[in-house]
Amino acid sequence: MTTSHQELLPGTRRALLHRIAVAQSEGRTPSLVAAVVRGGRVVWHGARTSVDGHAPDENVQYRIGSITKTFTAVLVLRLRDEGVLSLGDPLEKHLPGTGAGEATIAELLAHTSGLAAESPGPWWERTPGSLRPELADVLGEQPFRHPVGRRHHYSNPGYTLLGALVEKLRGAPWEDVLRREVLEPLGLTRTSGQPSAPHAGGWAVHPWADVLLPEPVEDLGRMAPAGQLWSTTGDLAKFAVFLTYGDERVLSAETVREMRAPAAPAELADLAAGVTYGLGLQVFHWNGRLLVGHSGSLPGFLANLTISVDDDVAAVVLTNCTSGPLPAALGADLVRIVAEAEPRIPEPWRPLPDVDPSVLELAGQWYWGTQVFALRLTADGGVSLGPLTAGRRSRFRANGDGTWTGLEGYYAGEVLRAVRRPDGSVSHLDLGSFVFTRRPYDETADVPGGVDPEGWRGIK
């Protein structure tokens, strides 16, 4: 986490205020509140409202809808990290008898379970959860719409199942587990299943006239893990920091990085839009910037949490209207405004601490066939390997035994090792059966297929 606490420049703050003012005015929402996080802390808060002399602050609750799913995903990943379950486990192993047990936990997290998008009618977001007291009422007689694992299809009942899984394995209600394991450790004191004053009321705005209709506030019951929560910009800003850096009291940095990684195949329309899904988080490209987060909506409320890890900037947007401003676009714009107006200042270059000479000798130029690669030591104790031109490249994590594991791209999960001769000198690098040599097709190394004994030659 960066230690910079520099406030935003006046021009940046005005640009942020202008953007939310336009959104509130053109989107015709009774109120809109937003926050921007940089370097692990809130650096800006803004609000616009239709009520003179009264603007919501960072402590006013709004309903956050499907951002709730990210909280539920955190609980499931805690169970995985504790060894209670594996993401590859079928649901049936831990929560038998649902009728949807063939879907794995990972498929439920990534919305690739094939389950229906919604529960059987009446519309669950505008009716009491008491109408759906059991999981069978949420899933219906035909819970699946697609083959399991074949495509991304957003499913609210899927997250109801994950909430029930948490309850089964923890032996306590979902909200109690959430409060004990996530909300309290992270200091999210204004996030709750039921509204707590001060909180906004939810409104529908007539599409053709500037008049309002109050929306009902329902307890979602079994569907709560998919969309029940109320929260504030202050709390969601803290949650954004957690999703960026991790917190060992809840989830490690490595696990939240896993949540942010694409885990679902994108539909053609999503592929064109640059949108996919991780484990409880939406992942998308917006104007050349990689963003993660989640949107939420329930009758009377729209919400969004957007994070650019590369820029170390996050934005939270909350409104109290059924339809109006597009919070995802607004959140992405707030991130963009800060990232472009005040680009992240790199940390100072510093030399590495003590370096193992056997690793240092691997640095430099290598050849895969005739393609030139460079291996570099990284500040985190790992290495990076990539071509000098375009092509496959990856960072590698040290395993502590003289090998490294790929972290991204084609080489993710693949093991890199240095193969040494009997005298201890390095013969070549082996990366998932690919041989990298110090010279192109080095005849002294174990090059697959061998090297022509006549060597390199011209054309006579």
Beta bridge partners of 83: none
Q: Find out whether 280 and 70 touch, Cβ atoms under 8 Å.
A: yes
1 within a domain of the structure (yes/no): no
* Claim to verify: residue 148 and residue 181 sit in the same structural domain: yes
Domain that holds residue 425: 357-436
Rg (CA), the chain: 26
pLDDT recorded at residue 1: 44
3 within a domain of the structure (yes/no): no
8 within a domain of the structure (yes/no): no
CA–CA separation, 79 and 73 (whole Å):
10
Number of structural domains found in the chain? 2
**Residue 216, CB-side half-sphere exposure with 13 Å CA sphere:** 10
pLDDT recorded at residue 408: 86
Q: Which of 317, 341, 365 is the last residue of a domain?
A: 341
Q: Which residues contact 117 (CB under 8 A, 6 or more apart)?
A: 145, 153, 154, 155, 156
CA–CA separation, 87 and 58 (whole Å):
36
User: pLDDT by residue (tens digit) across 242-293?
Assistant: 999 999 999 999 999 999 999 987 777 777 777 899 999 999 999 889 999 9
* Claim to verify: residue 393 and residue 324 sit in the same structural domain: no
Beta bridge partners of 42: 37
* Claim to verify: residue 59 and residue 186 sit in the same structural domain: yes
Closest CA to 258 of 446, 73, 50: 73
Enter the tokens of residue 178. 């959430």
Output the CA angle 17-20-22, nearest 5 degrees: 105
CA–CA separation, 282 and 277 (whole Å):
4
316 within a domain of the structure (yes/no): yes
pLDDT recorded at residue 3: 40
127 within a domain of the structure (yes/no): yes
CA–CA separation, 325 and 28 (whole Å):
8
* Claim to verify: residue 51 and residue 176 sit in the same structural domain: yes
* Claim to verify: residue 281 and residue 400 sit in the same structural domain: no
Listed as ranges, residues in the chain with pLDDT below 50 are: 1-4
Output the CA angle 357-363-367, nearest 5 degrees: 140
Q: Which residue has the tokens 């979602």?
A: 220
Closest CA to 234 of 198, 202, 259: 198
* pTM of the predicted model over 0.85: yes
314 within a domain of the structure (yes/no): yes
Q: Find out whether 312 and 345 touch, Cβ atoms under 8 Å.
A: no
* Claim to verify: residue 285 and residue 401 sit in the same structural domain: no
* Claim to verify: residue 293 and residue 432 sit in the same structural domain: no
Phi and psi at 34, nearest 5°, equal: -145, 160
Does residue 122 have a cis peptide bond before it, meaning omega lies within 30 degrees of 0? yes
* Claim to verify: residue 284 and residue 389 sit in the same structural domain: no
* Claim to verify: residue 367 and residue 326 sit in the same structural domain: no
171 within a domain of the structure (yes/no): yes
User: pLDDT by residue (tens digit) across 92-149?
Assistant: 999 999 999 999 999 999 999 999 999 998 999 999 999 999 999 999 999 999 999 9
* Claim to verify: residue 255 and residue 140 sit in the same structural domain: yes
* Claim to verify: residue 104 and residue 243 sit in the same structural domain: yes
6 within a domain of the structure (yes/no): no
Q: Which of 341, 368, 389 is the last residue of a domain?
A: 341
According to DSSP, residue 336 is labeled H
Q: Which of 302, 317, 341 is the last residue of a domain?
A: 341
CATH of the domain at 64: 3.40.710.10
* Claim to verify: residue 337 and residue 381 sit in the same structural domain: no
Q: At what angle do helices 233-245 and 253-260 cross, to 10 degrees?
A: 100
Residue 169: its H or E element: helix 156-170
